[in-house]
Structure 1
Amino acid sequence: MTRNTPEFERLAAELRGLRARTGLSLAALGTGSAYSKSSWERYLNGKSLPPWPAVRALCRLADEPEPRIRALWELAEQAWSGRAAVALPPRPPLPEALPGPTAGPGPADPAATDPTPGRTPGRTPLRWRVAAGPAALAAAVALPLLALVAWFAHQWLAVQGRNLDSHPETAITAFRVGCHGSACEGRDPTAMLCGVQPMTLAQFRTTDAAGLEIRYNPQCGAAWTRVWDTRAGDEITMTAPGQPTRSTRVPNAQAADAFLYTPMVAVGRGTPLRACVVPPSAAPPQCFTVSAP
């Protein structure tokens, strides 16, 4: 059963965009994740809510940082499950009116100090009514206010999503990258959000069929190497003139199929970049060059 809420449709649209970025068919997407082709057909067409591990797998395949998609998934999951609806609590009854002064026993009368014999059946003692009055009034004000704040936050997120849809060119500037230029030296491109919509300057295949891309983000003023289909023990490097060589090593066979990234190097306009795959054996490294725009 589908639930065509704005949050759910927004998530499905984002997932379709990520799948288009990967260039993978549904069958290949199923092969690259733990979910079947038919499952991905339902997820991408908004027929069912994907579990978070499936969304995370697609983010990995599309080289998409997880935080933004995670926020969209949580909103969609709340709308799907019905937990997003905020019900205002019923207004609590007003505190019972205090009785006016009446003639009664004086302070010396035992009935005035012992509330049990002189208490009207079913009536709360006066001291409890006086104490409960402010607490009930505070709850009556605070709970609807919290619900109103949650509603405004929800609407703001929805508006932000529509703005990015109608103005795709602002999608990148909606993120604040974590570094620029020399501050990016040796940093992780994903952690610094430089991996959000980067430029792929060149793509290559090694003689062993490993994939290699030289990537660059002008907002960060930095470049890095991304590889996949490598072999355990391969060393991946990125070099720019005047900067230290940045490298990463494929730790094991399980990591060889996934995307791996070198740390970043700071670059300027026209900087020549050199990316290499250095095998663990005595075979010569395979290197590729390109210039930053």
Structure 2
Amino acid sequence: MTPQPTPPRTAFDHRMGVFATDDEFLAAALPFLTEALAAPDEPPPVAIAAPRNLDLLRDALGGDAKDVGLVPHTEWYTGSAANAIARGAGHLAAHAGPGGRIHLLMEPVWGGRAGRSPRETAEWIRYEALANLLFAPLATTALCAYDARVAGPAIVAAARRAHPDTDVYEDPVRLAAELDAVPLPPLPADAEHLPGPAPAAGAVRAWATSRGLPDADAELFATAVTEAAAALGPLDGALLWGQAPACVCELRALRRVDDPLAGFVPPPSAELEPGQGLWFARQVCAYVDVRDEGEHASVRLQYG
């Protein structure tokens, strides 16, 4: 009987590799890239990693290095976790093969923004978890590389729960809800109230400028607030507080935001369309926190 060919993969393959030595990094990365180079109907794989790890790959790959995209991770991960989602989605749209087929080795900058605080780390673990839903229809293969010498045991343990190839994988929605259960800082007594049904861009911009944001940043913050408000619908007011760069606005929505992917799904075009305000807010703000409370929701936007 003639063996039947293996059918092409049609779903996101999200893997995790942990290493604590240079040899362990190569032991994880080289088979992954070799697999990629042998995969039919795929463009060249891309390794996004620390510069020293890229040097290791160049030496180990030899002549095959020319067939692998090598990108310093400080050039790929240049902003928030939401920015990383946008960067990944844009790369897949522009460079992936049929059905999204491509191999990506990805090492976040755990010694930089991603690992600088428990608050920031939680955002990146949420990104890792939601990637399983966001990219589920795509036949992309991703190996997330974790350097235990930099990330540390707590980050590695949390990340294992976001990767399906581990024995502690957690449902992405449940994991995101667990992260959201951590209380946000309480409202300050001096928070300024803006009545509903929607905050005026001019009022937000003037407030942000008075709190020290440069004009361009104040304009971005005001646009993020008003676009998010438009996506949420009528509000029961908004609250503003903080000083530059950490200016904050909390929108009080009259409905719940039940979708854990709200504001994470890349829009079909670069032009902002109605209903995409939370996407824009996540792209320009450091944090966007959504909390459902009964039949209502609060959406907190922190610019810096």
Instruction: Please classify the TM superposition score into its range, dividing by the shorter chain length.
Output: under 0.3
More strand by share: 2
Tell me the TM-score normalised to structure 2 length. Answer: 0.24
Between the two structures, name the one with larger relative contact order (CA 8 Å, sep ≥ 6).
Answer: 2
Larger radius of gyration: 1
